[in-house]
Amino acid sequence: MAEAAAHTARPEIQTELRSAAESGPADLLAADGYIFCAPENLAAIAGVMKDFFDRCYYPVLGKIEGRPYSQMVCAGSDGYNAARQTARIAQGWRLREVQPPLIVCTYAQTPEAILAQKVIPEEQLSLCRELGAAMGAGVSMGVF
């Protein structure tokens, strides 16, 4: 999902695809906008994404206000709570949501399906590409 969004944003703007584990406050400060992409685990954002937000929240507080963001969530059944968590963090940073959250549901409900590698259907990846293209175009044109 993140790769699909980043690929379509690139023609418009310089794009860097980074994992939450490898990212920090300097990355947020250097960016003009953000697409936060995370799985939902146990009705919450994945621990590695929560760790990213925990490590970055206070160091960038008051320094990234007004920047655009959107988000993508990959969930087994719902995804809305993870989207709400990310939106709440973004609200604290005073970021500007420029698109509603994109939630891709895999319907993985058994332990085997939950642990299995996911293959996102093309129609869902297309939505990820559209989100990336819109973010890239908006930042490039100065709309956001």
The upper half-sphere exposure of residue 50, i.e. CA atoms within 13 Å in the direction of its Cβ, equals: 12
pLDDT one digit per residue (tens) for the chain, 144 residues: 999 999 999 877 889 999 999 999 999 999 999 999 999 999 999 999 999 999 999 999 999 999 999 999 999 989 999 999 999 999 999 999 999 999 999 999 999 999 999 999 999 999 999 999 999 999 999 998
Residue 93 placed within a domain:
yes
20 within a domain of the structure (yes/no): yes
Domain that holds residue 77: 2-137
Res 59: pLDDT? 98
The single residue listed with the structure tokens 């500007």 is: 96
Q: How many domains does the chain have?
A: 1
Which of 130, 140, 138, 141 has its CA nearest to residue 102? 130
Residue 84 maps to which CATH number?
Answer: 3.40.50.360
Task: Report how far apart, in Å, the C-alpha atoms of 90 and of each of 53, 57, 69, 95, 141 are.
Answer: 10, 9, 8, 5, 22
Question: Does 46 reside within a domain?
Answer: yes
pTM greater than the 0.75 cutoff: yes
pLDDT for the residue numbered 12: 73
Q: Does residue 12 fall inside a structural domain? A: yes
The answer to whether residue 130 sits within a structural domain is yes
Task: Give a yes or no: residue 144 inside a domain.
Answer: no
**Could you tell me if residue 95 is inside a domain?**
yes
- C-alpha dihedral, 57 to 1 to 124 to 102, nearest 10°: 10
Q: Flag whether 19 is in a domain.
A: yes
